[in-house]
Structure 1
């Protein structure tokens, strides 16, 4: 579930919150605990990775890493109360992304051709989202 869509946090984060862990710590703990599986998935699928719109995978990984650091810093700066108010909306967004991501991707691909600059911007935003919340970012 996590390797394909980043949905493992749908199970781990609520479990941690149910055990009494504050939501910001539960989110961070969930993301860190799922990293070994994410890295194994990336390694397994590495041969299918190729440049997108002329942007190489190392560049994409670097952009995502920097975005992830920014998202992580935003999470640390967010109060637990504010995060508790934001989480339901992030969960809704992640649920929709997982449920309709493939269809949306096909629809967009048939209508829009993304250039390198747009790709870098979207990948950076995805990195920030992944560093901040992570659910559904796969």
Structure 2
């Protein structure tokens, strides 16, 4: 029953990530509610995310969206940051991590509804050396956040790259999945070395994420996006309330 629940959550998360983003806001709390310590849930969730992003990178490459030079420029500082963040996450007590995750879920759900990345997507900028240097610094801190929590990182990456580069959302998404795939490996290794991964649940979640992503890519985005945002909004608020101890 637990495996079926995780598989189903993976399908929903993969579907949400394809249409809107924020699928980890469902899978992370679910793994915690199923009895995994918060730090193990954090590590386990990354197995599925790594697989999902590797698949996404492959798809973007096939479609001609593959800026390896700029991706590495962003990915290397993100890898360093992710190791720092993952080491912090390993040491955090479950109660503290749950509170942090609950607050982050509330903040991210605001981004889900507000969608600032779409409001600023029309900005056009020339990518100068200063912009590249700024992006590298920003992605070091993105890596720290991703290594620590990961949930909602996609929104942070999209908004940061939109403000700094002015790239199209398609190109930004191709950079996002590549960078996340890069630092996910280093962060995941920290959790693996410390024995904080449930491989059975992680691989089950990965299968679900892959299936959900496939379904989502074949779904009518305009119709699906609005529906998914409503479901995600309600679900995240309920789970955040539980993590914050607002109700039992």
The verdict on a shared fold, with TM-score over 0.5 as the criterion, is yes
Which range, TM-score by smaller chain? 0.7 to 0.9
Matches within 5 A, 1:1-138: 1-3=16-18, 6-46=21-61, 47-50=64-67, 56-99=70-113, 100-103=115-118, 105-106=120-121, 109=123, 115-138=131-154
Q: Given the superposition, is the C-alpha separation of residues 133 and 6 from structure 1 closer, same or farther in structure 2, using an over 3 Å criterion?
A: farther
Q: Note the residue ranges of structure 2 that are not aligned, 5 or more in a row.
A: 1-15, 155-248
Distance 1:131 1:38, change over 3 A: same
Question: Structure 2 length normalisation: TM-score?
Answer: 0.47
| Distance in 1 of aligned mates of 2:33 and 2:17 | 20
Residue 94 of structure 1: how far off its partner (Å): 2.6
CA contact (8 A) 2:74 2:135 kept: no
Aligned partner of residue 45 in structure 1, secondary structure = helix
Across the aligned residues of Structure 1 and Structure 2, the Cα RMSD in angstroms comes to 2.7
Distance 2:104 2:66 in 1: 28
Q: Which has the larger radius of gyration?
A: 2
Separation (CA, whole Å) in 1 of partners of 2:140 and 2:20: 18
Residue correspondences, number: 134
Distance 1:9 1:49 in 2: 25
Structure 1 residue 49, shift from structure 2 partner: 3.5
Give the TM-score taking structure 1 as reference length. 0.78
Work out whether residues 85 and 144 of structure 2, in 8 Å CA contact, stay in contact via their aligned partners in 1.
Answer: yes
Distance 1:3 1:73 in 2: 29
Relative to structure 1, the CA distance from residue 6 to residue 42 in structure 2 (aligned partners, 3 Å threshold; closer, same or farther) is farther
